[in-house]
């Protein structure tokens, strides 16, 4: 998959007023400005409270919430409880994985630890080709839960591109959630 394909996915979403961004490895590559590895899916991060607007984007689609590893049909006006973070949207041949982000006031709040937050206005950034991406520091925090080989590679690849704010925020978030984390020493060092 390429940035051109991401751009094609983003095209019909240009009129959406809600904030959103591509996440996962795409948030990393969008920050770097080049595709660093194969991506097998596209995660779209949205704010939970904006779900009604997203339902209007794909009005004929079939919407499912993920409960464990099962797809359960989402009710017409249902906004799933906070424990449900993943939705699957099937619109004809198209499939979208939507990840719901919780907020409190003007802040995004991390599902893994409500003490970790970031202003919503900083949780999404414009990356390559002006496409919207999840802030790479948030993407890395999410990846820090169970580091796979691709997550370690993503961290190493994006580290020189993180702003001082993103480095400090991620270091504090990792300390808050884990106390100690393998990535913390790398975040304290020079760029």
- What confidence score (pLDDT) does residue 189 get? 62
pLDDT band at residue 190, thresholds of 50, 70 and 90?
low
Chain segment 60-116, per-residue pLDDT in tens = 999 999 999 999 999 989 999 988 999 999 998 889 999 999 999 999 999 989 999
Write down the mean pLDDT value for the chain: 94
DSSP H helices in the chain: 3-10, 25-32, 51-57, 120-123, 136-143, 149-158, 164-178, 184-188
Average pLDDT estimate for 14-34: 94
- pTM listed for this prediction: 0.92
pLDDT of amino acid 146: 87
Nearest-angstrom CA–CA distance, 45 and 52: 14
Domains and CATH numbers, the chain: 3-135 (3.30.460.40)
Pair 12, 57: CB distance under 8 Å = yes
């Amino acid at each position: 998959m390429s940035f051109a394909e991401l751009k094609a996915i983003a095209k019909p979403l240009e009129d959406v007023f809600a904030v959103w961004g591509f996440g996962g490895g795409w948030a990393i590559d969008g920050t770097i400005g080049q595709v660093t590895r194969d991506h097998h899916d596209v995660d779209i991060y949205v704010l939970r409270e904006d779900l009604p607007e997203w339902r209007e984007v794909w009005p004929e689609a079939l919407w499912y919430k993920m409960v464990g590893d099962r797809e359960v049909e989402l009710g017409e006006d249902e906004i799933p409880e906070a424990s449900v973070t993943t939705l699957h949207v099937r619109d004809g041949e198209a499939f979208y994985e939507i990840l719901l982000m919780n907020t409190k006031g003007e802040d995004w709040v991390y599902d893994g630890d409500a003490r970790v937050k970031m202003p919503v206005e900083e949780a999404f950034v414009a990356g390559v080709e002006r496409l919207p991406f999840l802030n790479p520091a948030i993407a890395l925090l999410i990846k820090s839960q169970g580091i796979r080989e691709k997550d370690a590679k993503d961290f190493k690849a994006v580290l020189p591109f993180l702003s001082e704010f993103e480095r400090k925020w991620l270091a504090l978030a990792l300390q808050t959630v884990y106390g100690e984390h393998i990535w913390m020493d790398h975040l304290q060092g020079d760029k």
